[in-house]
Structure 1
Amino acid sequence: MRWSYSIGKIRGTELRVHITFFLLLIWIAAGAWATQGPQAATTSVLFILAVFACVVLHEFGHATMAARFGVKTPDITLLPIGGLARLERIPENPRQEILIALAGPAVNVVIWLLLTGLLGAATRLGDLQSMENASQDFWGRLALVNFLLVAFNMIPAFPMDGGRVFRAVLSIFMDRIKATELAARTGQIIAFLFAFWGLTGGNPILVLIAVFIFFAAGAESSDAVMRGLAHRAKARDAAITTFQTLAPDATLEMAAQAILHSSQSEFPVLAADGRLVGVLTRASVLTHPEAEHRAELVSTVMIEDVPTVTLETGMDAVLNALAAGSAPIVAVLDRAGRLVGFINRENIGEWIILTRR
């Protein structure tokens, strides 16, 4: 995700923080300082950090359960509205999806039990109105937050865990694509209710959450349609087979001319023996428009790590390769290992439009 920064890796999963999270901390600290002084500001920041520590544990709950089913979690990103664990793929087995979805809230239940059982923290819903008050019991507020995280995440709307559980249950009785579309529509209806509640109650946070839910539900539905189509297709069905290539020792001036005379966004870079050594993107050339860069070689700015598939590779594997890698294309090779085409995200979108009945 853009504007997010890595703060380390835990068990192969990169933990990232979005820049807006730091803006949230500054806003919380400034508000507490202005109303209650510097000590309250420090306590408020520590409380927010404790809340997001619980969010991180929640997301690692998903990641740990996913790992049991052979699904990797490349990264977890912290946002002002919570955490986002990016799974390599969503299991299509309903039981596995339910267990992965429930693992996150289960972590918050454990934290709540520890806070209330060991520390004697009281969970009072009436304290919700004064949650931002730094003078209130620290552990009590943290216990309440974990209680609310469980309740909120079990709402049957994407991208919350409850939405995934709802979709998994529906997919037991109907086609997975139809189940996803029904769950997505339910999520969007809930989003409208949240937006109405936020607008009438003067709560902008609810409106923000509603917008996030609405678009996330739509994205989930589109992804399910794409995955459904991918089951029945191979790489040859969507590969771009008419394209220009560049040599590693070509200059950026030559690449600029290729851009001007074609509509390609990516140019495969081939060695003298025809072997694929990388890909040059239109964006990487356009970010070096100055004359002094025109003599630079393509090999200095190309992306080298390009995933490859064969013509007979299933589209599921192509989609996974595009999602997991940093390259904008997946190269398609024939049986002899020669480049015969490539697939990019734009072509995937066109393929979906033209293939869906």
Structure 2
Amino acid sequence: MMGWSISLGRIAGTEVRIHLTFFLLLAWFGLVAGAQGGGGAAASAIAFILAIFACVLAHEYGHVLMARRFGIGTRDIILLPIGGVASIERMPDNPTQELLIALAGPAVNVVIALILILFFGANIHPGNSDPAALQNIDFVSRLALINIVLVVFNLLPAFPMDGGRALKALLSYKLDKVTATRIAARIGQAAAFGLGFLGLFGNPLLIFIALFVFLAASHETYAVELGEATQKANMRDATITSFSHLDTTSSVGDAVKALLGTPQREFPVTDGAGRLRGVLTRDGMIQALASSGPDTPVLDVMEREIPTIGYRAPLSQAAELLHSSGKPLVGVVDDGERVVGIITLENLAEFMLVERASQGWRRSHGGDVRSVR
């Protein structure tokens, strides 16, 4: 998703990005309105879409600023044709905090609607909710109505939408985190099927939203289960200790040889003291090979600011660090900051598979099985 988006800069300490497909949405609405009412109608339609997404952005900042109150950062906000996504580093374990973060976004839309009604004269009545009559009401009233629709839609109990997150937080008061997430995710996936079914009757946007909700619910469930599985695990249980690395003097050609000679996809770049300086991924390697050739120094194309963690730390911290950083791996280092292992998303997925199988075996036979690499 990041690769198909461009940065609009940082607002209040958070980077705002816009997905390239958003411009297709603007063009489509502009062309449709222009075909019906000329250039003025096209400009008005584009302005209205931009106003809606300004409200969506304000909605996402509701989540961001509330999360910041609890010491949780946000990597970025991405505006998509179907809405906005705030990449909050983690959700809090405290259900009250999670509930407040979930409700902060819709609360912003409530405030916007009230401002438009009380101070700008927006006229909201049941007749305006008819989609066929929407174009016949004034700009401000339409925008107020859209904000009310955003509140209602986002509060649907479709995890991981705001209503689904609020449901999960409420369930967490009585249930453990994993169970609450599973229940909320199943309800969310059922709601996604419902949205997708409605989309078959002439609204393809609902199909895209349904697909997004379904996949996001599965991803969130996996992330919570991973956090639970790694909570009691040691770093050595999922650390790759046998791996190939690249020197700071290596070229892309050297990296290609390592790629073809090993099953790795991510290669740590270390200096003479064994300290982690970056990582070169398979995709980055191929792009560099095509654009600048095999003699390109890896220092010019590697990803920098790769997080590291001490080998004595719990595995759960490494998993959280990998998720929050958005980087392809975490370096496991000794007391001298030398890299002694790496942890990747693929390796954590393998750890989860082994954990699930081990739990089933332990339930029937007892004992303990751990992944060792």
* Same fold (TM > 0.5): yes
Match in the other structure for 1:30: 31
2:288 and 2:296 in contact (8 A); partners too: no
Indicate yes or no: 2:178 matched with 1:192.
no
Q: Which residue of 2 aligns with 1:55?
A: 56
| Contact preservation (8 Å) 1:12, 1:74 | no
Q: Which moved more, 1:231-240 or 1:319-328?
A: 319-328
Give the alignment's TM-score, normalised by structure 1: 0.94
Matched with 1:347 is: 347
**Can you give the 5+ residue segments of structure 2 that lack an aligned partner in the other structure?**
360-373
2:137 corresponds to which letter in structure 1? Q
Aligned to 2:324: 324
Aligned to 1:314: 314
Work out the CA distance in 2 between the residues paired with 1:43 and 1:253: 53
Report the CA distance shift for 1:129/1:191 in structure 2 as closer, same or farther (over 3 A): same
Q: 1:109 to 1:290 in 2, by over 3 A?
A: closer
Superimposed CA distance per residue, residues 277-335 of structure 1 (whole angstroms, 9 cap, x where no aligned partner): 22222222222446972233332222232211011222332223223335311100122
Structure 1 unaligned regions, length at least 5: none
Indicate conservation of the 8 Å contact 2:127/2:133, yes or no. Answer: no
Identity of aligned residues (%): 46
Equivalence for 2:71:
70
Name the residue aligned to 1:110: 111
Displacement of 1:234: 3.2
After superposition, where does 1:229-248 map in structure 2 within 5 Å? 229-248=229-248
Count of residue correspondences:
356
Pair 1:39 & 2:40 matched: yes
Question: Which letter maps to 2:89?
Answer: E
CA distance in 2: counterparts of 1:142 and 1:290, whole angstroms: 47
CA–CA distance in structure 1, aligned partners of residues 83 and 290 of structure 2 = 41
1:18-44 per-residue CA deviation (whole Å, 9 max, x = no partner) reads 111111010000000001111111111
The alpha-carbon distance between structure 1 residues 31 and 132, as it changes in their structure 2 partners (threshold 3 A), is farther
**Is residue 2:86 matched to residue 1:85?**
yes
Partners of 2:172 and 2:290 lie apart in 1 by: 54
Letter in 2 for 1:160: M
Do structure 1's residue 259 and structure 2's residue 245 form an aligned pair?
Answer: no
* Alignment-derived partner of residue 217 in structure 1: 217
1:275 deviates by 2.6
Between 1:81-90 and 1:289-298, the stretch displaced more is: 289-298
Equivalent residue number for residue 272 of structure 1: 272
Q: Is the 1:44–1:134 contact (alpha carbons within 8 Å) kept by the matching residues of 2?
A: no
| Aligned CA distance change for structure 1 residues 42 and 352 (closer, same or farther; 3 Å) | same
CA shift digits 1:82-118 (9 cap, x unpaired): 1111101101100000011111111111111111112
